[in-house]
Chains A and B, each alone.
Chain A
């Protein structure tokens, strides 16, 4: 499931296109819901495989969530929720000072507002939100509807939306249970609005003035500027047996939404002004839908026809531009670079060890070898370097060095000079620094922070004290943080400027500190 909104310049990592986009999908990974995120990726199946669009027999294009961004901690803090202790711990950087505050029961998700002035937790067991000023952690608690499971913050930080997302397993606290309602909480005032949606959403995205709740049969548009809040429902599919909605693209002006549905032979265009939906023609087997870096076009990859369909977002219902992809190549996904440079076309389904470059300016395509098949692709924030992930699956033309191994390839997009690494374990979390100079990833069961120097195409390792769980970066800094396995909590902070690693261990003990007044 992918949702695009109005920040195309941030869509650097196409294969995890909800990077930086304030979507629920990104939050799953941020809060440790890696498996749910994986389920979302799995659900992004290839339309071609379905009987109603039977154009080829390839499996789905995998929308790997590996590149999902970390939660946005404050520049000088990281907030960690402690569900077992009903607390949130704020760890300061670089001093590693710790402040712990009580919150509601079972804080399973914590997010910061984009201005970093507040941290918000969703407390699943007590069905409430804790709103914490970042400097004091003086809690304001707001009750929400029962049995919700997913917290989303609006890009301006004004609203927290809690809902029951499709595919997220959670436990009912008993009593009457509905999956078709949501709570909207105004962060600064604490005002709460409960709303029956009429459908169970898969995800939520935001425009400047509204929240877009995405279901399979319905799109709900909540006007966040109305008082009281109101919702408009737009039918986008068969209400009885709708196809799963897999991707949503919003145009930068907030006028349109484009949807790609599982096994559908067309796209859905939603007019967010008139609240109307219509079908949009597309080539056979659409397997990917993205925004161009400048946000002016939506691009669908029609794998069955071997075509790219480009829609002008000023007039998405107009005639699309259709570009044929190289013959003989089966390509199902596209990854754009942020600077508008070459995009990468690839397939996670064919098992071939190569990718195709496409220069949107010249229209030229190029074919480039890889050590083994692609599982995910991203481009660094500056657009200069592509990152191509490889899982354990091998192809006939595999480099023996990579047989049965995971791998990663760094590709300089100006010259397509590449450097590839065999990896001893599966990369499980990835992030990059704000300045785009470095990337970081961690591997399952390996106590290392892998540091990517995008400019040099090199990877260095930093030894950790225990196996990593999640890696992220502090906004507006070059620091990376890595949470690690430890019964009492462990997190390390890496400063690439001097290569130092600072670790704090046992910070969950801080929830047990009692300071007498």
Chain B
């Protein structure tokens, strides 16, 4: 979420920021809600109990869940005034106003660490054990967040356990961060450079130049690590090749491919990487032991991959092809699913039983029958039963804005939010039609899951509204309302602290 704080220098208060932000996040058993107008972060239980997180006067700008489900990162900021005599924001000359930023590590007991992090680093990568964060410039540069100088060649490392942080130079426009097994090292890819970083020491171990001529920069596009962390496989934008970077005995080899790779999916079980291509009607399995490729011919090209626990879904977002392929990496078996419309995105549920794809409208081809024309004109949901190779095409009478999956022991449910619709669709993927229609208190905004296996839905409601739904008992909803109607007239006193 971009920073929307508006400064008021007049002698009156006004509601200039939204009361609440529907980009809710979950940590532990609580929901956390940002209140921009109140410049506060609220913790909200499904019982309706609320309290505030002490941000020491800062305003929460963005929440990011930390792997493990128990902590959040809180991007926050506050207004400063260069004149030390000024106490109220409205008394500060405009030229003296500024903004400071920090990153807070929020646990069950509140903010555990406050880190003086550069405000413009909007990109974030987190190790899967939740110990380390790597902040970088993600490309959505908002000049107002830059404090005089933006360093385009560095990343900012944060030890989320100790709160220690450091900035290190890695290369121009770093953006692809891969954490090695053990999470004590990370490979940071930037233009023409790859850098192996020691996250514990906070310094660079190895620097790899990806070109001999820096005037001819190469841009890493997609990258994965082999499961043992021995190699990084890095595709280069516009090139039919894959850099194989040896992270243990630093060296580089280049594998030539049959086309430009657009997606890579790595699997520990087969110890292989699936390679998808922009223009080739094939998928390759690249086995890490020998780095030999096995090619799987496919009828439609497949430039996108989704992987979960030994199953890979391959599909194409750009062409008119209606094929989705599932690869069982344990057996190497390729299954073709023919769906109604092309996909824009896809997921595999945590149980591995189902694949779900969001189908988007497409122009109707000549000779299409009425059913095809009906489907072509609408969004839809494709439900792939990965165990018995069946596909169900569900046409949606509305524009889906959010899709969430929750897998239980025996069932998997999809929740679908439709734009400006007071109803949500709850779909039992093993029996997808008809879906359960959930009446909502207001049009939905965002969708997420709680750690206890329930969905939450935030709504477009000025004073705040959240619904918590158990997919196994959708009638027993918890609705939390009007929690945003606090702190409408916030204190204008400047925050005077030096983090």
Do A510 and B251 have beta carbons less than 8 Å apart? yes
Q: A96-B253, A513-B250 are in contact. Are A508 and B206 (CB under 8 A)?
A: no
Query: Which residues of A are found within 8 Å of B253, using beta-carbon distances?
Result: 96, 98, 504-507
Residue B287 lies at the interface, judged by CB distance under 8 Å to chain A? no
Q: How far is the CA of A504 from the CA of B255 in the complex (A)?
A: 8
Interface string of B223-253 (1 = CB under 8 A from A): 0000000000000000001010010011111
Query: Which residues of A are found within 8 Å of B249, using beta-carbon distances?
Result: 97-99
Q: How far is the CA of A507 from the CA of B251 in the complex (A)?
A: 7
Residue A84 lies at the interface, judged by CB distance under 8 Å to chain B? yes
Do A510 and B207 have beta carbons less than 8 Å apart? no
Q: A97-B249, A506-B243 are in contact. Are A512 and B208 (CB under 8 A)?
A: yes
Q: How far is the CA of A370 from the CA of B109 in the complex (A)?
A: 92
A94 to chain B, nearest CB (A): 11
Interface string of B251-264 (1 = CB under 8 A from A): 11111100000000
Q: A84-B212, A515-B205, A516-B205 are in contact. Are A488 and B251 (CB under 8 A)?
A: no
Query: Which residues of A are found within 8 Å of B252, using beta-carbon distances?
Result: 98, 506-507, 509-510, 513
Do A516 and B206 have beta carbons less than 8 Å apart? yes
* Chain B, Cβ-Cβ closest to A465: B256
Q: How far is the CA of A456 from the CA of B251 in the complex (A)?
A: 40
A97 to chain B, nearest CB (A): 5
Q: How far is the CA of A194 from the CA of B338 in the complex (A)?
A: 78
Q: How far is the CA of A512 from the CA of B243 in the complex (A)?
A: 14
- CB contact between A85 and one of B203, B204, B212, B246 (< 8 Å): that residue: B212
Q: Please report whether the interface of chain A is mostly helix, strand, loop or mixed according to DSSP.
A: mixed
- CB contact between B254 and one of A85, A506, A514, A516 (< 8 Å): that residue: A506
Residue A487 lies at the interface, judged by CB distance under 8 Å to chain B? yes
A421 to chain B, nearest CB (A): 29
- CB contact between B209 and one of A96, A98, A513 (< 8 Å): that residue: A513
B178 to chain A, nearest CB (A): 17
Do B251 and A512 have beta carbons less than 8 Å apart? no
Q: How far is the CA of A100 from the CA of B206 in the complex (A)?
A: 14
Number of A-B residue pairs with CB-CB distance less than 8 Å in the complex they form: 62
Query: Which residues of B are found within 8 Å of A507, using beta-carbon distances?
Result: 251-253
Residue B105 lies at the interface, judged by CB distance under 8 Å to chain A? no
Do B212 and A512 have beta carbons less than 8 Å apart? yes
Of residues 179 through 226 on chain B, the ones whose CB sits less than 8 Å from some CB of chain A are: 203-212
Q: How far is the CA of A465 from the CA of B257 in the complex (A)?
A: 11
Q: How far is the CA of A91 from the CA of B210 in the complex (A)?
A: 18
B115 to chain A, nearest CB (A): 25
Do B205 and A508 have beta carbons less than 8 Å apart? no
Query: Which residues of A are found within 8 Å of B203, using beta-carbon distances?
Result: 516
Q: A85-B212, A512-B212 are in contact. Are A98 and B251 (CB under 8 A)?
A: yes
Of residues 490 through 517 on chain A, the ones whose CB sits less than 8 Å from some CB of chain B are: 504-510, 512-516
Q: How far is the CA of A97 from the CA of B255 in the complex (A)?
A: 15
On chain A, the number of residues with a Cβ less than 8 Å from chain B's Cβ atoms is 22
Query: Which residues of A are found within 8 Å of B205, using beta-carbon distances?
Result: 515-516
Of residues 124 through 171 on chain B, the ones whose CB sits less than 8 Å from some CB of chain A are: none
* Chain B, Cβ-Cβ closest to A95: B249
Q: How far is the CA of A460 from the CA of B53 in the complex (A)?
A: 75
* Chain A, Cβ-Cβ closest to B208: A513
Do A514 and B206 have beta carbons less than 8 Å apart? yes
Q: How far is the CA of A84 from the CA of B213 in the complex (A)?
A: 11
Q: How far is the CA of A97 from the CA of B249 in the complex (A)?
A: 7
Q: How far is the CA of A248 from the CA of B253 in the complex (A)?
A: 44
Query: Which residues of B are found within 8 Å of A96, using beta-carbon distances?
Result: 253
Do A514 and B243 have beta carbons less than 8 Å apart? no
A501 to chain B, nearest CB (A): 11
Q: How far is the CA of A487 from the CA of B206 in the complex (A)?
A: 23
Do A509 and B208 have beta carbons less than 8 Å apart? yes
Q: A487-B212, A509-B212 are in contact. Are A514 and B256 (CB under 8 A)?
A: no
- CB contact between B207 and one of A85, A487, A508, A513 (< 8 Å): that residue: A513
Query: Which residues of B are found within 8 Å of A97, using beta-carbon distances?
Result: 246, 249, 251
B189 to chain A, nearest CB (A): 14
Of residues 15 through 66 on chain B, the ones whose CB sits less than 8 Å from some CB of chain A are: none
A184 to chain B, nearest CB (A): 35
Query: Which residues of B are found within 8 Å of A465, using beta-carbon distances?
Result: 256
Q: How far is the CA of A508 from the CA of B210 in the complex (A)?
A: 10
Q: Which of A84, A465, A487, A515 has the most CB of B within 10 A?
A: A515
Query: Which residues of A are found within 8 Å of B256, using beta-carbon distances?
Result: 465, 505
Query: Which residues of B are found within 8 Å of A506, using beta-carbon distances?
Result: 243, 252-254
Query: Which residues of A are found within 8 Å of B212, using beta-carbon distances?
Result: 84-85, 487-488, 508-509, 512
Q: A96-B253, A507-B251, A510-B251 are in contact. Are A516 and B210 (CB under 8 A)?
A: no
Query: Which residues of A are found within 8 Å of B255, using beta-carbon distances?
Result: 505
* Chain A, Cβ-Cβ closest to B198: A516
- CB contact between B251 and one of A85, A513, A516 (< 8 Å): that residue: A513
* Chain A, Cβ-Cβ closest to B250: A513
Q: How far is the CA of A507 from the CA of B246 in the complex (A)?
A: 12
Query: Which residues of B are found within 8 Å of A504, using beta-carbon distances?
Result: 253
* Chain B, Cβ-Cβ closest to A514: B207
Q: How far is the CA of A258 from the CA of B241 in the complex (A)?
A: 55
Do B206 and A509 have beta carbons less than 8 Å apart? no
- CB contact between A488 and one of B206, B207, B250, B254 (< 8 Å): that residue: B254
Query: Which residues of B are found within 8 Å of A488, using beta-carbon distances?
Result: 212, 254
Q: How far is the CA of A487 from the CA of B205 in the complex (A)?
A: 27
Query: Which residues of B are found within 8 Å of A508, using beta-carbon distances?
Result: 212
Q: How far is the CA of A85 from the CA of B213 in the complex (A)?
A: 11
Interface string of A85-113 (1 = CB under 8 A from B): 10000000000111110000000000000
Query: Which residues of B are found within 8 Å of A516, using beta-carbon distances?
Result: 203-207
Do B204 and A509 have beta carbons less than 8 Å apart? no
Query: Which residues of B are found within 8 Å of A505, using beta-carbon distances?
Result: 241, 253-256
24 contacts between A and B (CB under 8 A): A85-B212, A96-B253, A97-B251, A98-B252, A99-B249, A100-B251, A465-B256, A488-B212, A505-B253, A506-B243, A506-B252, A506-B254, A507-B253, A509-B208, A509-B209, A509-B210, A509-B211, A510-B251, A513-B206, A513-B250, A513-B251, A515-B206, A516-B203, A516-B207
Chain A residues with a Cβ under 8 A of chain B: 84-85, 96-100, 465, 487-488, 504-510, 512-516
Query: Beyond the given A85-B212, A510-B250, could you list 5 further A-B residue pairs with CB under 8 A, ordered by the A residue number?
Result: A99-B251, A508-B212, A513-B251, A514-B206, A516-B206
The 3 closest A-B pairs by CB, nearest first: A512-B209, A98-B251, A506-B254
